[in-house]
Chain A
């Protein structure tokens, strides 16, 4: 069954008429992980935000978006608001700026859980304790009572994943979740996504320009360039046999960097 279907999505700037995403269509099945790759400015984030109808006011979109056969593009703003968080979760690139800097971490989490499930603070705390353990956050009590600036980017990233786990959405949209992190935190966060895929039946849209990570966790890949989908298909097929020049270029660039790295290190480094 198709979980998400995006048909002829087009996003443009109202004032200039500048088209940011051209006629884009793709589908996502239950439990699948779709990676959207491409250089910065290729329209990856705008595409993912268009699904949640969260782009800035100066961007407009047309096209059809169906979640479990429900037309999201026709919903009122109020109904769409209920879908966000509950059915469609987003994990942002920079954990350090994703939480209100003047509130304790728990404030956002409790508010979100209260909005969707009507849970009291106690119930929310219980639920969060469980999911925080799953994403390897120790001392959950302590973390909940910290301010964002007192935690690291990786911890905040995992906090967002933990909230997503508690919400049990149909689709988790992760917008460059590893880009702002150092290598060790990157590894941990990617590991969390792999665990989520194994444990839950949640589909993931994973936006990244890191092909190594994409190869590790994605089933399907969508390659974007200048707001257009230039190629899409199974991850194995695309890596083994890229059709479009741009995809070939991306894979070759990564290969070149790897070769150089191996040469410098003088040994066989698994990549």
Chain B
């Protein structure tokens, strides 16, 4: 098992390198000259050739592309993503707190999503084709089909404005998590519980279930065996859900005025604040790579056949 984890981590290294390179290259494809962008962002009144050259010299834009990349990469490894063009502050001082805010939201939402997807998935599978199954499926599918911003607005109207139970927006104590987490979770539970449900139903017809029953094992023990095998399908999906939420809370953060990555990245994109965009893309991409690795490792712990390589 230790060897498998080591191997899997080593494979991740070149992947991370490729991701960082792509991030850097894509931003450099932007049609504007970087020095000009910096000067415009700093609202310099008249941009002269001389000024551009000075900026190039100062920020190293006149060095060969690959040298620029390695400078940037080495700095990134030390969490130094450069200076924001617009706010004239280090990127990390903006990114760090925003990342933590979004991360908290993501972690809590993921736990809620996983817990309820498993719960509803098992409930539906055990009561297949009964009223419970049909009702839950219809309800959860409905919530997934509805756009998140609409649901968010309705929730704010009902729970914050009319009933005055929860804050309308912002990040202020535990209560302010309830609405955004609920809206995010409702969007995903409807997708993921179906995976658990169908995996459980597939496993229900496996021989080991029949043999378990024929051996007189109690139903709850058999259900645990089925769940154990069904979760393997879900692990990959859940692990991928975390970076998806991390990079995709833009809408929710806007609705609930959450001071997170989504809000920050949108304002950076609108003002062409390249170092911030670069850092955002890199963080989300790294999150995908890392969680993909985690899903493989978790799968290997649950499924001995993957560990043995067959």
What residues of chain A have their CB less than 8 Å away from a CB belonging to chain B? 52, 54, 81-86, 88-90, 92, 94, 97-103, 108, 111-112, 115-116, 147, 149-150, 160, 163
Contact among A54, A116, A147 for B305, CB-based, below 8 A: A147
Q: List 23 A-B contacts (CB under 8 A).
A: A52-B214, A82-B216, A84-B213, A84-B215, A85-B217, A86-B216, A90-B214, A92-B211, A98-B211, A100-B208, A100-B225, A100-B229, A101-B305, A102-B232, A103-B225, A103-B228, A108-B211, A108-B215, A112-B216, A115-B215, A115-B216, A149-B304, A149-B310
Residue among A81, A100, A102, A108 making CB contact with B218, cutoff 8 Å: A81
Chain B contacts for A101, CB-based, 8 A: 208, 229, 303-305
Contact A94 to B207, CB < 8 A, known contacts A100-B225, A103-B225, A111-B221: yes
- Name which residue of chain B comes closest to A97, CB basis: B207
B206 within 8 A of A: yes
Quote the shortest CB–CB distance from A160 to chain B (angstroms): 8
B210 within 8 A of A: yes
Question: Which among B210, B212, B229, B304 is the interface contact of A108 at CB below 8 angstroms?
Answer: B212
Is B305's CB under 8 angstroms from A149's CB?
yes
* 5 A-B pairs closest in CB distance: A85-B216, A90-B214, A84-B216, A97-B207, A85-B215
Which residue in chain A gives the minimum CB-CB distance to B214? A90
Beyond the given pairs A85-B216, A90-B215, A160-B211, 13 more chain A to chain B contacts, judged by CB atoms under 8 angstroms and listed by A's residue number, are A54-B210, A81-B216, A81-B218, A84-B216, A88-B214, A98-B207, A98-B210, A100-B212, A101-B229, A103-B225, A115-B217, A150-B308, A163-B215
* Chain B residue at minimal CB-CB distance from A52: B214
Please, which residues of chain A bring their CB within 8 A of the CB of B302? 102
Check B218 against A89 for contact (C-beta < 8 Å): no
Q: Are A102 and B304 in contact (CB under 8 A)?
A: yes
Nearest-CB distance from B1 to chain A (Å)? 13
Q: Could you give, for residues 182-220 of chain B, a 1 whenever the CB lies within 8 Å of some chain A CB and a 0 otherwise?
A: 000000000000000000000000111011111111110
**Are A115 and B214 within 8 A (Cβ)?**
no
Q: A102-B229, A149-B305, A149-B308 are in contact. Are A97 and B216 (CB under 8 A)?
A: no
* B228 adjacent to A100 (CB under 8 Å): yes
Contact, CB under 8 Å: A99 / B211: yes
Measured in the bound complex, the distance between the Cα atoms of B215 and A163 in whole Å is: 9
Chain B interface residue count: which class? 20 to 34
Q: Give bound CA distance, A90 to B218, whole Å.
A: 16
Contacts A84-B213, A100-B228, A102-B232 given; does A92 touch B303 at CB 8 Å: no
Q: Given that A97-B207, A147-B305 are known contacts, is A84 also in contact with B228, CB under 8 Å in the complex?
A: no
Residues of B within 8 A of A163 (CB): 215
A85–B310 alpha-carbon span in the complex (Å): 32
What residues of B have a CB within 8 angstroms of the CB of A98 in the complex? 207-208, 210-211
CA distance A264 to B220 in the complex (A): 55
Residue of B nearest to A80 (CB): B216
A115 and B218 contact, CB distance less than 8 A: yes
Taking a contact as CB atoms under 8 Å apart, the answer to whether A102 and B303 are in contact is yes
> Nearest B residue to A53 by beta-carbon distance?
B213
- Looking at A84, A86, A101, A103, which has the most chain B CB atoms within 10 Å of its CB? A101
Q: Which residues of A contact B303 (CB under 8 A)?
A: 101-102
Contact with A along B287-302 (1 / 0, CB 8 A): 0000000000000001
CB within 8 A of B208: which of A82, A97, A115? A97
List chain B residues, Cβ under 8 A from A111.
Answer: 217, 221
Nearest CB of chain B from residue A15's CB, rounded to whole Å: 11
Docked complex Cα distance between A149 and B310 (Å): 9
Tell me whether A54 and B215 are in contact (CB under 8 A): no
Q: How far is the CA of A88 from the CA of B214 in the complex (A)?
A: 8
Contact B210 A116 (CB under 8 A): no
User: How many whole Å from B225's CB to the nearest CB in chain A?
Assistant: 5
A97 pairs with B214, CB closer than 8 A: no
Bound Cα distance from A155 to B70, whole angstroms: 57
Determine the chain B residues whose CB is within 8 A of the CB of A92 once the complex forms: 207, 210-211, 214
Q: Is the CB of B215 within 8 A of A112?
A: yes
Determine how close the nearest CB of chain B comes to the CB of A97; give it in whole angstroms. Answer: 4
| A90 and B211 in contact, given A81-B218, A97-B206, A112-B216 (Cβ under 8 angstroms) | yes
A103: chain B residues at CB < 8 Å are 225, 228
Cα of A81 to Cα of B212 in the assembled complex, Å: 11
Contacts of A52 in B (CB 8 A): 214
C-alpha gap A160/B219 in the complex (Å): 20
Contacts of B214 in A (CB 8 A): 52, 54, 84-85, 88-90, 92
CA distance A111 to B224 in the complex (A): 12
Give per-residue flags for B114-139: 1 if the beta carbon is below 8 A from chain A beta carbons, else 0: 00000000000000000000000000
